[in-house]
Amino acid sequence: MLVLVAPGQGAQTPGFLTEWLDLPGVRGALEAWSDAAGLDLIRYGTEADAEEIRDTAVAQPLLVAAGLASASLLFDDPAELPQKVGAVAGHSVGEITAASLAGVFPHEEALRLVRTRGLGMAEAAAVTETGMAALLGGDPAVTVPHLEKLGLTPANINGAGQIVAAGTKEQLAALEADKPEGVRKVVALKVAGAFHTHHMAPAVDTLAKAAEALAPGDPKVTYVSNKDGRAVAGGAEVLERLVGQVANPVRWDLCMETFKALGVTALIELCPGGTLTGLAKRALPGVKTLALKSPADLDAARELIAEAPTPAADAAGA
């Protein structure tokens, strides 16, 4: 079974969309999505520097647009996606990409929603100086209580020996000086706030108001949620979870456990890929992985899709 995943904030790099613009349909789609988001996605994806695209209000729409654009190039017809893909998921803001690919809402609505999400989270982040840091190695049973003792939130439990802590700059400094037993390294992340913590509570209210205008459809392909790794079948519940997830931890470890339970054999990470395939290589041994980092990766991705059995055939075989 093939799983399609979308990366979250921090995956973007300056100029990462430049090579994609000459591919069929990409420029036109980005122009339409720029109008929907009220943001020049082409400029930010090709000309903006690292500081500009670090801005949460910019980074989030940019990542969703990149994921949707790269996914569109994998199939001759969008209707093929639910025929060939067994499940979709996204890490943090990548959940909006995954939901739109699953048919919960159209791509233009996804860009409007993510722009609201980014602005709301940027505004919440401006209240207190906060940040995030990745902890490499260690045992979650030891690491999580240690973080809580320091007042930090385990905001991303990513599996494969990685937890991301979030909190104030003072709390993160205390973590640097007092690492949990077994943690090899603490790496500060280039993000603008303590996402997926109580610091983001104001953004939940902002996003909830925006969500009221949407009429979500049920996913046409299995959608795996960050909240608890559960597959969610109802569009209204997907949207409700997207709203609440802004201020709650990402359980990517549980998402990968669900992929395993579903019988995943291959995983493709949409542009700008790399982070989630890295985690999958460690947590899902034996699963073929491919990251869409540039258009040069498209042929290999299409071959992987062609090899995948249809989800229906997979279920019948089981």
Question: Would you please indicate which residues are annotated as catalytic (active-site) residues?
Answer: 92, 196
Q: Which string of DSSP letters, residue by residue, matches 174-234?
A: HHHHSPPTTEEEEEE-S-SS-TTSGGGHHHHHHHHHHHTT--PPPPSSEEE-TTTS-EE--
What is the residue type of 275? T
Look-up of token digits 């046409």? 220
Phi (first) and psi of residue 11, to 5 degrees: -80, -20
**27-219-80 Cα angle (round to 5):** 55
What is d(CA 172, CA 131) in angstroms, rounded to the nearest whole number?
A: 8
Element (H, E) at 88: strand 87-90
Cα gap 246→172, rounded to integer Å: 20
Strand order in the sheet with 266-269: 231-232, 222-224, 87-90, 2-6, 266-269, 288-291
Q: How far apart are the first and last CA of the chain?
A: 11
- Which DSSP category does 309 fall into? P
* CA quadruple 242, 129, 61, 108: dihedral sign: positive
